[in-house]
Structure 1
Amino acid sequence: MPDSNLPGTDLLKTVLEPLLEDFQYWFTRSRDLLETEQLSFMSNQEQSDLLCRVKRAQEELNTAKMLFSATDGQVGVDMATLMPWHQLVTECWKVAMRFRQTPGV
């Protein structure tokens, strides 16, 4: 069994664990907005598509978090997985900002 006191493991726990928590937080907030509000600047289909992508990312994230926990922080997440999550969070931030700037909201 690998030594859980290796510097790489500490680095993963220090960097990756909070990053995964941040993704969880922003995906949850985005999902809540998309499920509870009708966004006047998006078509129903656009809003539904974005919600589906957030749900799919949450499922992927939950799997990554389970693997990270099950291996006691010994497993990282590939950048090819993280980058689409980052892009999706950025897209959701833009939608949320636009929603807050919409008159009458």
Structure 2
Amino acid sequence: MRDSNLPGPDLLKTILEPLLDDFQYWFARSRNFLETERLSFMSEQDQSDLLLRVKQAQEELNTAKMLFAATEGQVGIDMSTLMPWHQLVTECWNVAMRFRSQQTGWQKQDGI
């Protein structure tokens, strides 16, 4: 008999699959951003460390997605795994917003 406190496979597929896709999108976008832009407000080491954390999260995510697919949505992901990913995406958003804010500020100073 199934534990009624555990979500069913349909619920997992409905909620978890799009969430994993979102993480995949944001990690790829963050990785591209960190690999192609030089962030003047971060040291090269800090930027490199953030990029490394994004790459590691991508590997973890790929493993989770493979496990989820291999079990046909029968396996969930613990919140202790998802929360650091969420925090990392939020950190990357904040870095990107700061970068864009600086770019906008420079354009205004140059009369653009």
2:86: which partner in 1? 86
For the residue of structure 2 that corresponds to 1:102, the secondary structure is helix
CA distance in 2, matches of 1:99, 1:19: 26
Per-residue deviation, residues 7-53 of structure 1 (Å, max 9, x unmatched):
71000000000000000000000000000010111100000000000
Larger Rg: 2
CA distance in 2, matches of 1:16, 1:96: 26
**1:53 paired to 2:71:** no
Matches within 5 A, 1:1-105: 8-103=8-103, 104=106
RMSD: 1.5
- Between the two proteins, the alignment pairs up a number of residues equal to 100
Q: Which 4+ residue blocks in structure 1 deviate beyond 4 angstroms? A: none
TM-score normalised by length of structure 1: 0.91
Per-residue deviation, residues 52-95 of structure 1 (Å, max 9, x unmatched):
00000000000000000000000000100000000000000000
Equivalent residue letter for 1:83: M
% of aligned pairs identical?
79
- Mark the runs of 5 or more structure 1 residues left unpaired by the alignment: 1-6
